[in-house]
Amino acid sequence: MSYSSGRILLSSQREGQISRFRAWVMIVVPLLAILFQVYVPLFFQFLGFVEMPLLVVVYFALMRRSPIGGLLVGMLVGLAQDSLSKNPLGMFGIVKTLVGYFAASVGLRFDVDHPAVRMILAYFFFFFHQFFYWVLGRALLGQPLPFEIQRTLLLGVLNAVVGVALFRFLDQLRETV
């Protein structure tokens, strides 16, 4: 994989190669991400900032370049995360569905193999996820959830750094066509 081309925008949809993954990768990686999100902060509280299921949804949506596929990955991961968390059922499902759809739509237009683009997108979608979770919590549940902009921006940077490293690792699981 070469990152030296310097191109960020794709001039046609055909230029963006759709990545293929084995079925076990599409099942095991999101499951491990959800388990990471639920159990790792119990033992290592300093890792509580990592939104691993979100990063996995963003990666698969960007690489598959299919808005419907991104929507489905986001929905399944979000609902699975909801079922294992103390949050109301559907909150992560709705937000991650939106993230998956929009990430796949962005993947159609940009060269998402470039590390700088990956970092920017991981940062943007973390902020997008947090903002829409806050909006839904206030609108649907009537809960006065706080939205700390400075904390969210900082955690977005940290998640973007983790995301780029995770994306690099997940690149190794892609099938060669």
pLDDT value, residue 1: 45
pTM flag (> 0.75): yes
CB of 66 closer than 8 Å to CB of 18: yes
Residue 168 tokens, joined: 């690099």
Is the per-residue pLDDT at 7 higher than 70?
Answer: no
pLDDT tens readout for residues 129-150: 999 999 999 998 888 888 999 9
**Residue 177 banded pLDDT, cuts 50, 70, 90:** low
pLDDT value, residue 86: 85
pLDDT value, residue 16: 52
**Residue 175 banded pLDDT, cuts 50, 70, 90:** confident
